[in-house]
């Protein structure tokens, strides 16, 4: 969440930047500032009463030591109301702080100055394109038909077992999944990321810490009996390892990678654009997370973008990089790059990775701090990126690599799959 002092001291800039995200509840900014003023006034009054009470307590103690018991009792009687006043102030502060928190978590992160204005995907900025778009034969198939032809992914069987959006991978399809996971993890290790294996269920505090709650509870699977949530991405448990942690400045950058299955309800997602592997309720993903010094985060997001691009280059997939406009960014991000690969069978671009800088937004929720060179506590910056999400990578590999012999596996994956073709 945004830092309260920043909102108070930069009201006009906050409203202007929230406008880039098309945030409609701009009145919240003034409500938050007014609540904060009330909180500070009550806190000042409470502190003044506490100071008076402490001064009188000292005076009473001095009088008692001097044997002036009657005078001490007289002052004690006059100060008896301080205790009740202090209790009243404490209750008022608790109430106003609860209201203030409820308001401030409704405000999204501020977009970076480089974020273009816009309302949706059509307004995103294409930063670069790489690779040649494949030209396929007239009888080329979309991936869901390829999956059926070679019996490597069974969508109907997944629907029978669970429901739509839960495919079953079979034979070489399952081995391709495993190959991609291992390839991505090995690449992350070579790039200096420490691998983690984390829980795929998290508590409410973890969901709040990274900003999924209270913003996206409708998109998360909730285990009601235990009040736990299935993770939408490994970002949630990995970043929450550092909740309520004060790290040392020399630990920067902290770099983690982890593979997990991911779960998203994707409520309201219907139609041809979500067919096959295009949008699933359960899918596999390798996630990278970095915790860095605030001075380095925008340098790091460029490095993370290049890292993901390197993976796509090794997989021989044509791709493009988008800088998301304000209206297409997540609630928590300050800057996001989306990487899209070209799906030749569908003749369209598919998002396969998002790399985001959250600045201090998550760290403030997490209370993730470090002591800077001047000895002052400061919030860290957090970043994460998909490296990579598997379903649309698999879809593009199947569609783009159709040959007369079958589906050709990129050379970099052959040591992992053990085969060169799906046939």
Asked whether the bond before 134 is cis by omega within 30 degrees of 0, the reply is: no
Q: If we measure between CA atoms, which residue out of 247, 264, 265 comes closest to residue 256?
A: 247
Q: Where are the beta strands (DSSP E) in 250-326?
A: 254-263, 282-292, 319-323
Burial of 115 (C-beta count, 10 Å sphere; 0-12/13-18/19+): buried
86 is in an annotated binding site: no
Q: Which two tokens stand for residue 201?
A: 């269920």
Is 126 annotated to bind ligand? no
303 known ligand binder: no
Q: Do the annotations mark residue 351 as ligand-binding? A: yes
Exposed e or buried b for every residue in 25-34, given b needs 16+ CB within 10 A?
A: eeebbeebbe
Report the DSSP beta bridge partners of residue 153. 169
- Token readout for 336 is 């996001």
Please state whether beta strands 194-196 and 254-263 pair in parallel, antiparallel, or not at all (unpaired): parallel
Q: Which of 192, 168, 220, 183 is nearest to 290 (CA)?
A: 192
Annotated binding-site residue? 354? yes
285 DSSP β-pair partners: 260, 389
Distance, CA of 36 to CA of 22 (rounded, Å): 24
Place of tokens 């970002």: 235
User: Is 240 known as a binding-site position?
Assistant: no
Cβ contact 147:153 at 8 Å = yes
Q: How many CB atoms lie within 10 A of CB 378?
A: 16
264 is in an annotated binding site: yes
Cα of 320 vs its chain's centroid, Å: 22
Helix axes 297-314, 172-190, angle to 10 degrees: 140
How far is CA 69 from each of CA 57, 82, 105, rounded to the nearest angstrom?
Answer: 13, 20, 53
Nearest Cα to Cα of residue 398 among 350, 355, 339:
350
Residue 353 labelled as part of a binding site: yes
Distance (Å, rounded) from C-alpha 380 to C-alpha 370?
A: 7
From 399, 388, 405, select the one nearest 177 (Cα to Cα).
Answer: 388
Known binding-site positions: 233, 264-266, 287, 351-354, 384
Binding residues for L-serine: 233, 264, 287, 384
Annotated binding site for ATP: 264-266, 351-354
């Amino acid at each position: 969440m945004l830092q309260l002092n920043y909102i108070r001291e930069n009201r006009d800039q906050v409203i202007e930047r929230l406008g880039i995200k098309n945030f409609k509840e701009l009145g919240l900014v003034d409500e938050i500032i007014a609540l904060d003023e009330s909180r500070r006034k009550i806190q000042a009054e409470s502190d003044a009463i506490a100071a008076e009470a402490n001064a009188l307590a000292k005076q009473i103690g001095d009088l008692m030591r001097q044997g002036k018991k009657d005078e001490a009792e007289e002052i004690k009687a006059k100060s008896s109301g301080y205790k009740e006043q202090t209790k009243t102030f404490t209750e008022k502060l608790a109430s106003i702080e609860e209201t203030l928190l409820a308001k401030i978590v409704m405000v999204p992160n501020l977009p970076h100055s480089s974020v273009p204005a816009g309302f949706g995907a059509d307004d995103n900025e294409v930063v670069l394109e790489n690779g040649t778009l494949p030209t396929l034969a007239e009888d080329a198939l979309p991936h869901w038909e390829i999956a059926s032809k070679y019996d490597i992914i069974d969508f109907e069987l997944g629907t029978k077992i669970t429901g739509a959006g839960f495919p079953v991978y079979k034979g070489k399809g399952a081995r391709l999944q495993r190959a991609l996971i291992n390839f991505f993890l090995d690449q992350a290790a070579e790039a200096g990321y420490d691998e983690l294996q984390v829980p795929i269920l998290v508590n409410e505090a973890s969901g709040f810490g990274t900003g999924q709650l209270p913003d996206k509870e409708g998109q998360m699977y909730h285990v009601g009996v235990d009040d736990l949530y299935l993770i939408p991405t490994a970002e949630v448990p990995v970043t929450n390892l550092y909740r309520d942690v004060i790290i040392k400045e020399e630990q920067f950058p902290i770099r983690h990678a982890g593979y997990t299955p991911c779960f998203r309800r994707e409520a309201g997602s219907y139609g041809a654009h979500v067919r096959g592997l295009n949008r699933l309720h359960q899918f596999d993903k390798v996630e990278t997370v970095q915790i860095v010094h605030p001075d380095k985060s925008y340098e790091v997001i460029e490095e993370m973008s290049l890292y993901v691009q390197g993976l796509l280059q090794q997989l021989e997939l044509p791709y493009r990089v988008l800088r998301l406009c304000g209206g297409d960014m997540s609630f928590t991000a300050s800057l996001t790059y989306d990487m899209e690969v070209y799906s030749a069978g569908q003749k369209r671009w598919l998002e396969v990775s998002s790399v985001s800088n959250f600045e201090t937004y998550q760290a403030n929720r997490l209370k993730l701090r470090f002591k800077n060179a001047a000895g002052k506590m400061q919030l860290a910056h957090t970043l994460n990126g998909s490296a990579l999400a598997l379903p649309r990578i698999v879809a593009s590999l199947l569609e783009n690599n159709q040959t007369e012999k079958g589906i050709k596996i990129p050379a970099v994956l052959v040591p992992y799959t053990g085969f060169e073709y799906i046939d």
